Amino acid sequence: MGGPFHLVAVGSAVVDHIHRVTVLPKRDAGVAILDRRSGPGGVEANIAAAAARLGLRTGIICRLGADIGGAMVRADFEGRGIDASRVQTGGADETAYTMVFVDGQGDRIMMTGGRGVRGLTLDDADDAYICGARVCATSGYLPWPLLQRVARVCAGRDGPLLTFDLPGEFDDLEGRGFQREHLDALLPGIDLFLTSQESLRSYTGEAALDDGLNHLRAKGLRRAAISNGDRGFSLHEVDGDGWRTDHIPCFPVQVVDTTGAGDVLHAALVVAWLLGGQPAASAGRFAAAAAALSCQGWGTREALPTRYEAEGLAG
């Protein structure tokens, strides 16, 4: 296991259209847009960008359109030193987009459209590219046939570690073609599983976190990070017949926008926990610091921290 990359991300790259609003939209209620900006986003693209900023050699496999948005996203990769040699280019207006609405507390709602990752394909050259990394990062937004392929590559003799983000609830994911039985099949091969308590409940049907974690362990998972909003997150490693757990609080910062903070957390846990071999508690503090710092700017890339900055806040 090894090669030219610390991390290769496989999945989505989009253009985020971020709207600062008076309140988050509700049914039949008026909302004033105070400001708006556009910039690069997408779960896997965010992970790659955060990992590169934290000092990792990073590559990405995604699909962009032959349009202004696609050109902007590609330029962002290149400006950050992210290898874009396996980025696919589709037709005009094919770059996916996300409408993001952010209130004064930094809370947000998001809606994604466009073709984007749904048009992605993988071939033998992509398999070899993934094998050139120590870690492969992806999410439940990657179409199921491609997730199967990535999982097989990672499970091979020379395959990288696999990190996986369950990014939402199954009411949405099933509409995208990702089913609970698909995650059942993936879990034994996942080296780090990241999700929120709400998404975990959506998958397992268990209201209590401990019961949800036991469901994951029964399916073969051995390492997880579970977020709980502004209460922080917890890191879990299988220890005998149970879990060893560390609870990590959030760092207090002036929040501008929380968009992409979970993707920064993902990248930072790869840096400190998977590749750095730090104990869960110290790796978690580093990741919490990185995620907190990223919330101090608009969008997903404006305030990405360096490793030095994250270590400084983590102490």
Q: For residues 3 and 160, what is the distance between their CA atoms, to the nearest angstrom?
A: 10
The CATH number for 122's domain is 3.40.1190.20
The answer to the question of residue 293 being in a domain is yes
Look at residue 255 and tell me if it is in a domain: yes
Q: What range does the domain containing 141 cover?
A: 5-12+41-84+116-314
Return the bridge partners of 97, or none: 15, 113
Mean of the per-residue pLDDT values of the chain: 93
Mean pLDDT calculated for residue range 20-35: 89
Residues found in the chain:
315
Residue 107, pLDDT score: 78
Mean pLDDT is lowest, of 27-41, 65-79, 98-112, 266-280, for: 98-112
Radius of gyration of the chain (CA): 18
Q: Can you give the pLDDT at residue 1? A: 42
**Helix ranges restricted to H, 54-169:** 68-79, 124-131, 144-155
Q: What pLDDT shows up at residue 299?
A: 79
Q: What is the pLDDT of residue 3?
A: 67
Instruction: List Cα–Cα distances, 99 to 15, 30, 291, in angstroms.
Output: 9, 17, 21
Cα(311)–Cα(315) distance, rounded to whole angstroms? 6
Domain membership flag for residue 22: no
| Measured distance CA(48)–CA(186) in Å, rounded | 22
Lowest-pLDDT choice from 168-172, 199-203, 265-269: 168-172
Question: Could you report the per-residue pLDDT of 243-277, keeping only the tens digit for each?
Answer: 999 999 999 998 888 888 999 999 999 999 999 99
Of residues 269 and 2, more confidence is placed in 269
Domain count for the chain, please give it: 1
